Structure 1
Amino acid sequence: MDSPITSIDFQSNWTNTTAQNETDIYWNQFVQPVWRIVLWAVAYSTIVIVSVVGNITVIWIILAHKRMRTVTNYFLVNLAFAEASMSAFNTVINFVYSVHNEWYFGLYYCRFHNFFPIAAVFASIYSMTAIALDRYMAIIHPLQQRMSATQTKVVIGVMWVLALLLAFPQYYYSNTDQLPGRVVCYIDWPEYTVLDFKTMYFVCVAVLIYFLPLLVMGCAYLVMGLTLWASEIPGDSSDRYQEQLTAKRKVVKMMIVVVCTFALCWLPYHVYFLIHQFYPHLFEQPFIQQVYLTIMWLAMSSTMYNPIIYCCLNDRFRAGFKQAFRCCPCVPEGSYEGLELKSTRYIQTQTSLYRASRMETTVSCVMQPCEDGQKVTFGSIRGAAGRPAVHSPSREFASNGSSSRSISKTMSETSSFYSSNNLQE
């Protein structure tokens, strides 16, 4: 990919610096030996393969399984889509251009190449920010209403609109130029006497797609960490509570690792370009190309770590990856039921039981004929206050103990999943 703050800009600086020197004949000082190009090609190809395959698998795991379609996971889908797209459309192209500082892909792809990375990185980091805020609401304010699936999709749509608006200046000012022997792709920033538009734009981009969201996520996860690890709810030590607490800790821990990985991978990149805006002459030496390729590789590698993190720290994602790569001999067999999604009947059963447990109890018992041939029918059994009381079998059939026991047993088996409070007279 191209960078969110593009490499093409500083490469054009090298070109323009050379072009301004009338005694120079556009010498390209950034041509590398073949062995070095091969090593870099292997390194960048690894990023593309792992990132595209891993993130597409994440998207499949979430969208193909209903139980995985949660608010958090919808944002993970958006994050995976942005990272896979960035790897597929920009990483290789940016590497090819950086190797010899020569553009082979035309004006329109030059504009896309400068435009899309900022939008993708914006969508990626704000997806992580949205996950942090969603987790914050779920843990700190559990009684407040959560976002619905529709609201989540609207937020993702707004996120991409803002991302495209932020990246639009890079599209608008991108251009190609024909030099003797090669073509370059660069951003022809306007020059104003009042302000330095290019520097102002790059500083705003660095703040909006790195420092600000990381600050928000850092505060959110700090509060969540103190709540989940440094405090306990007195008097509540039930197994169910401990299971919920453990599950919340796992999700928060996974997302903290994701955010920290992103921050570490992109920090050198943003520092590099901010320094370039204020000290451009430091970046005109041939060795800076290797520095840039290293920093860019580290930044681009952030797109391939997230699927690995999900697989290592989340049981359901691990089960999904094992299912997706079950044909590979190196992948151990795992239980696909780890996703808790294998049986639709299981979900329907659980939903039915949940609904039944919330309904007021109504049980109708039709008894077998008694010894005198009389058929007795019991009415509704209602447990709510002020409703008709239960017709007690022991009262109706006191003279026939066997019938009473049979009735009691039938009623017990019929309504075993109801709360005992609902069966009170």
Structure 2
Amino acid sequence: LVMNQNSLLYDVFQTLCTSLLPNDEVQYCFENINGSCYKTSWSSGIRITLYGVLGLLTILTLGGNLMVIISIAYFKQLHTPANFLIASLACADFCLGLTVLPFSSIRSIETCWYFGETFCRFHSCLDASFCYSSIFHLCFISIDRYVAVTDPLIYPIKFTVPVSGMFIAAAWIFSLTYSFSVVFSGANDKGIRELENALSCVGSCQLVFNKTWVVVSSLLYFIPFFTMIVLYHRIFAVAKRQARMIEIMNNNTQSFENYSDRVAKRERKAAKTLGIAVIAFLIFWSPYFITVIIDAFLNFITPPLVFDIMVWVTYSNSAINPLIYSLFYPWFRKAMKVIVSCKIFRLDCSTMNLFTE
């Protein structure tokens, strides 16, 4: 009886292992086309798991960022220059989840690109555009927070809605123009087309960038990167000094906080929350750009699976920001409750108070 039980357990274990491992039989993306890419035939268990995980990530990206956009667009109390920047950032992440992630999911799981070369370039341009748009939005948000914390009473005069609109337009126009012009002009693979032809096959969608454009693209990331680091270092230094001064004044006068104190406190809290979003972005995106730079100068030695994992780590950042807002912004949690409960369709809630102070 014990031997039969052990045999049965062994058979179950062997069946599970066989179902999880990829099939050893060589398969191609396009069986009837010469030069087709090899296809990794994952087991049904792995494929279902991957589709579930990547599908959930896509849904979180779409749902979370859509909540941010609707909240800021609907509630009049949130119609501020800083929140318009946040809404535009959420729009970039939402567009990534809507137009890029579904096709990237199929490419990653099926290990083949079935949507044609032209759409591959268009898909890659959208991917890069939303990435750079997010970078520039976060950089402009850092500038906004710096002005708000260092001079909270003059901030409404300096950073107005038209100024915010100029920042938003600059982020979107430059990102779209740069990405589409570089890729569709063929500048990205100039001088390395022989290498690209040797690496490419029918059924792949991996654009190759020469060293020049890798450096330029990386600078467009690292310059805002260091700008944000410097600005937030100064923001937190000023915020710490302001908090100490307010505490001393309140202890000496034994009075309640006045209006300027409350404004400064609110701006510092907003700066800290957005600082967390910036830090999360840097953590999720820096490994990818570092890998891209190393790859370009070492003849693309990174294994495709490792590179694909890096790409999805960066994609997952688009689902992080709404989670950060829900954790640290009471007004966002309150707005979400109103939206999810569909009260916006039954009552005129656009003028309701979302702030506790």
Provide the secondary structure at the position in 2 that maps to 1:282: coil
Superposed CA offset, 1:139-180 (max 9, x none) = 223436323212322321122111122202123339999xxx
Equivalent in the alignment of 2:42: 32
Residue 304 (structure 1) shift: 0.5
Q: Helix, strand or coil for the counterpart of 1:211?
A: helix
CA distance in 1 between counterparts of 2:294 and 2:72 reads: 40
Q: Are the aligned partners of 1:71 and 1:152 in contact in 2 as well (CA < 8 Å)?
A: yes
* Pairs within 5 Å for 1:254-333: 254-280=273-299, 282-283=301-302, 288-326=303-341
Is 1:250–2:269 an aligned residue pair? yes
Pick closer, same or farther for the CA change 1:276–1:32 going to 2, 3 Å. farther
Matching residue within 232, 249, 253 for 1:221: 232
Alpha-carbon separation, structure 2, partners of 1:29 and 1:277:
25
1:127–1:27 Cα change, 3 Å: closer
Deviation at 1:281, TM superposition (A): 5.4
Mapped partners of 1:47, 1:120: distance in 2: 17
The whole-number CA distance in structure 2 between the counterparts of 1:310 and 1:341 is 21
1:30–1:100 Cα contact (<8 Å) kept = yes
CA–CA distance in 2 between the matches of 1:340 and 1:25?
Answer: 58
1:211 alignment partner in structure 2: 222
- Counterparts in 2 of 1:28 and 1:43: CA distance versus 1, 3 Å: same
Report the Cα distance in structure 2 between the residues aligned to 1:289 and 1:31, rounded to whole angstroms: 15
* Residue number in structure 1 paired with 2:214: 202
> Please, which of 130, 136, 139 is the counterpart of residue 129 of structure 1?
139
Give the equivalent residue in structure 1 for 2:116.
Answer: 106
Checking the alignment, whether the CA contact within 8 Å between 1:111 and 1:172 is kept in structure 2 is no
Letter paired with 1:167: S
C-alpha deviation, 1:98, in angstroms: 2.9
Paired residue type of 1:201: W
Name the CA distance, whole Å, in 1 between partners of 2:63 and 2:231.
31
1:230 maps to 241
Indicate how the Cα distance of structure 1 residues 303 and 281 shifts in structure 2: closer, same or farther if over 3 A, else same.
Answer: closer
Distance 1:254 1:158 in 2: 24
Asked if the contact 1:83/1:303 (under 8 Å) is kept, the reply is: yes
- For 2:185 and 2:267, the matched residues in 1 are separated by 44
How far 1:204 sits from its partner (Å)?
A: 1.4
Q: Which residue of the other structure, out of 159, 167, 170, is the alignment partner of 1:158?
A: 170
CA change 1:107–1:225 in 2 (3 A) is same
Q: Distance in 2 between matches of 1:170 and 1:118?
A: 10
Partners in 2 of 1:306 and 1:281 — Cα distance?
31
Within 1, Cα distance between the matches of 2:74 and 2:175? 27
Give the Cα–Cα distance (whole angstroms) in 2 for the partners of residues 78 and 152 of structure 1. Answer: 10
CA distance in structure 1 between the partners assigned to 2:287 and 2:47 by the alignment:
22
Instruction: Give the superposition deviation at 1:213.
Output: 1.0
Q: Is the 8 A contact 1:30 1:289 kept in 2?
A: no
Aligned residue for 2:184? 171
Q: Which has the larger radius of gyration?
A: 1
Structure 1 distance, partners of 2:134, 2:183, is 18
Counterparts of 1:249 and 1:122, CA distance in 2: 26
Q: How many angstroms does 1:216 deviate by? A: 0.8
Q: 1:307 Cα deviation (Å)? A: 0.7
1:239 has 2:257 as partner: yes
- The Cα of 1:265 is off from its aligned counterpart by 0.9
- The amino acid of 1:131's aligned partner reads I
Change (3 A) 1:299 1:103: same
Aligned equivalent of 1:66: 76
Q: Percent of counterpart pairs with the same letter?
A: 21
Query: Distance in 2 between the 1:27 and 1:303 partners?
Result: 30
Cα pair distance change 1:34/1:279, threshold 3 Å: farther
Separation (CA, whole Å) in 1 of partners of 2:323 and 2:164? 25
Q: Do residues 56 (structure 1) and 75 (structure 2) align?
A: no
- Alpha-carbon distance in structure 2 between the residues aligned to 1:51 and 1:27: 30
| Structure with larger RCO (C-alpha < 8 A, sep 6+) | 2
Q: Distance in 2 between matches of 1:302 and 1:157?
A: 22
Residue of 56, 73, 95 corresponding to 1:46: 56
What do the CA deviations read for 1:5-37 (whole angstroms, capped 9, x no partner)?
xxxxxxxxxxxxxxxxxxx96561644333322
> Shift of the alpha carbon at 1:182?
4.8
Shift, 1:186, TM fit? 4.8
Going from structure 1 to structure 2, the CA distance change for 1:230 and 1:150 (only over 3 Å counts) comes to closer
2:204 match: secondary structure: strand
The TM-score with structure 2 as length reference comes to 0.74
Gaps of 5+ in 2: 1-33, 190-195, 251-255
Q: What is the aligned length?
A: 297
2:68 match: secondary structure: helix
How far off is 1:203 after superposition? Answer: 1.9
User: Which residue does 2:15 correspond to in 1?
Assistant: none
What per-residue deviation string (whole Å, max 9, x for no partner) do you get for residues 34-93 of structure 1?
332222222211111001011011001001011101111000111000001011111121
SS of 2:124 mapped into structure 1:
helix
Looking at structure 2, the residues matched to 155 and 47 of structure 1 have their Cα atoms a distance apart, in angstroms, of: 29
User: 2:37·2:204 contact (CA, 8 Å) conserved in 1?
Assistant: no
Query: Which residue does the alignment assign to 1:77?
Result: 87
| Contact map agreement 1:90 1:117 (CA 8 A) in 2 | yes
